[in-house]
Amino acid sequence: MPRHVAIIMDGNGRWAKKRHLPRAAGHKKGVDSVRAMVGACIGRGIEYLTIFAFSSENWRRPEEEVSFLMGLFNSVLEREIGRLHKNGVRLKLIGDLSRFEPRLVELIRHGEALTADNRKLTLTVAANYGGRWDIMQAVNALCREHPQQAGQFTEQDLAPYLAMAYAPEPDLFIRTGGEQRVSNFLLWQLAYTEFYFTDKLWPEFNAQALDAAIVSYRSRERRFGRTSEQLMATADVIAAKAADKPLVQNA
């Protein structure tokens, strides 16, 4: 099982268009898929679910759609926080919240504080998030705190300043809606993530579709730069240790 699944929930607008409905209807329907995904992840022992809800580029959409999305975010939080908490979900937000209404920010902070000690599943919602924004805010924070080391920072120095430093990097990335791009999602964290693209539109995505993605994930060999033979050798050592047997039998 992947420990961390990250999803670009795409295709709400096209789902609505196919049904001659306004785009808003697709976004509303998409909330049901989020709820289903939270349940499915808990059921499968997946520890981290990260969903892209609103990108730093989505402000470019018509004002009417942006304000609908903000309102939807507000009402979903109000309605679902209690249930998430009851189900042992820790809620986290990543992104630049400074552009949101104070009332929405307050709701987010309240939800994060209420659920902070839950560990069944960590649900991270990326809102007004961009991968480049994340890297830059981390670089700036690091430089502010350690100005004298500027020019000598390592990857390990930067990592704790990234917005999702509390989570392992995603194992499985899923994008629905047929597009095969990253759209400024978790640029740093996806360096060694397995990618899975599906034509299914987000409102159609369900537990069965998640299982199809997991089947694909499990068929991959994650080499992290090594050779296949090296991985086999490591697996043999682990198996031998687990079985408490010497790796090489004496002749």
In the residue annotation, 58 being an active-site residue is answered as yes
CB atoms within 10 A of CB 164: 23
Q: Give the nearest residue (CB) to Mg ion.
A: 10
Q: Does 13 bind ligand IPE (CB under 6 A)?
A: yes
Residues 6+ apart with CB under 8 A from 156: none
Angle, in degrees to the nearest 10, between helices 207-218 and 23-44: 60
Binding partner of 69, given Mg ion, ligand IPE, none, CB within 5-8 angstroms per partner class = ligand IPE
Would you state the structure tokens that stand for residue 154, as one six-digit string?
A: 């390592």
Who contacts 172 (Cβ-Cβ below 8 Å, separation ≥6)?
2, 4, 5, 6, 193, 194, 196, 213, 214, 217
Task: Identify the active-site residue in 10, 128, 134, 171.
Answer: 10
User: Is residue 55 marked as binding?
Assistant: yes
Structure tokens belonging to residue 34: 């989020």
CB nearer to Mg ion: pick between 10 and 171: 10
10 in contact with Mg ion (CB under 5 A): yes
Does residue number 134 form part of the binding site for Mg ion (CB under 5 A)?
no
Q: Which stretch binds Mg ion (CB under 5 A): 4-12, 79-87, 193-201, 238-246?
A: 4-12
47 binds Mg ion (CB under 5 A): no
Distances (CA, A) of 64 to 15, 22, 67, 68: 18, 11, 5, 6
Q: Is 199 a residue of the active site?
A: no
For ligand IPE, the closer of residues 13 and 111 by Cβ is 13
Q: Binders of ligand IPE: how many residues, by CB under 6 A?
A: 17
- Interaction mask 137-176, Mg ion, x per CB under 5 A: ----------------------------------------
Site for ligand IPE in 40-99 (CB under 6 A): 52-55, 58, 69
Residue 170 or 177 with smaller CB distance to ligand IPE:
177
Residue 194 annotated as binding site: yes
Structure tokens at 35: 């709820």
**Tokens 């502010």 identify what position?**
144
Sheet strands (E) in the chain:
4-8, 48-55, 89-94, 121-129, 172-175, 194-197
Size of the chain, expressed as the number of residues it contains:
251
11: annotated binding-site residue?
A: yes
Q: Give the C-alpha separation, 108 to 180, whole Å.
A: 30
Q: Which residues are catalytic?
A: 10, 58
Contact residues: Mg ion, CB under 5 A: 10
